[in-house]
Amino acid sequence: MTALLERVLDRAAGQGVPVGAIGVGVPGTVDPATGVIVESHHTAELTGHHLGRALGARFALPTFVDNDVNALALSEWMFGLGRGARSLVVLAAGTGIGAGIVLDGRLVRGSAGYAGEFGHASVRFEGRRCWCGGHGCLVVYASGRGIAEAAGGRAAPLVFQAAAAGEVAADRVVSEACDALGAMIGTIVNGLNPELVVVTGGVAAAYAACEARVLRAAGRHALSLALARTRIAIVPGDKHGSVRGPAALALYEAEVPSP
């Protein structure tokens, strides 16, 4: 990260672009009170680190570190589909499922930084065991890893392709995934009633191809008048969005006016 930042700062200086702050999105939970990364399942070596303080001292710039999907939600809000909205939820479905929540113009982090962990909300109380230790979590049915495990190790996009080609076993897995994701969208609509829910991430392209199924499931679980005021968009994730996230985080935190 230090080497990458050095290269980017060099290039910015070469182009005469002033850099006002550094933003970092991490795949884990950041304690909003202390800035310490308290848990990171996919990059365990980050756990316990105060990355913001270390990078801030190294580069002498204000440095902001947050959960990557929180940063992505800020990006959608400031530069993407959520521009002009006061509230939105971004559900990022990749290996796992994370969410970022903006309500009434503020990022919601929760008391310990765990706000938005809808991926580990149960959609089946007696369901399969999850890697978090819980049972029937949304990720078990609807994340890339969960879908692959349910389909005997095949990657999630291939499972969706097989289902579209008429393979019954794959279709059962996809159907369950769409139902689980739709149910969670219904819970979000009922519980937070945001103006916009964006489903994105590595598995979103596959979900976009069965959008009608997901929306039908959402309709079965959401209160109809609440759902009527929430727009649901399923958009494939892209690398640019992931990079804009931490930039949005830095702008949000530093209250630098957006360009």
Query: Which positions lie near Zn ion, rule CB under 5 A?
Result: 120, 130, 132, 134, 137
* Cα gap 245→230, rounded to integer Å: 23
Query: CA distances (Å), 28 to each of 3, 89, 97, 200, in order?
Result: 22, 18, 12, 18
Sign of the CA dihedral running 115, 118, 119, 122: positive
Quote the least distance from Cβ 148 to Zn ion, whole Å: 16
Quote the least distance from Cβ 65 to Zn ion, whole Å: 24
Residue number with CB closer to Zn ion (123 or 173): 123
* Cα gap 130→138, rounded to integer Å: 9
How many Å separate Cα 52 from the centre of its chain? 20
Quote the least distance from Cβ 117 to Zn ion, whole Å: 9
Burial label, 111 (beta-carbon count in 10 A; 0-12, 13-18, 19+): exposed
Quote the least distance from Cβ 84 to Zn ion, whole Å: 34
Residue number with CB closer to Zn ion (54 or 132): 132
Residue number with CB closer to Zn ion (22 or 140): 140
Residue number with CB closer to Zn ion (74 or 97): 97
Residue with tokens 């990364």: 37
Quote the least distance from Cβ 39 to Zn ion, whole Å: 13
* Cα gap 216→213, rounded to integer Å: 5
Residue number with CB closer to Zn ion (79 or 141): 141
Residue number with CB closer to Zn ion (134 or 236): 134
Pairing of strands 196-200, 88-93: parallel
Quote the least distance from Cβ 83 to Zn ion, whole Å: 32
Is residue 42 within 8 A of residue 29, CB to CB? The reply is: no
* Cα gap 128→51, rounded to integer Å: 35
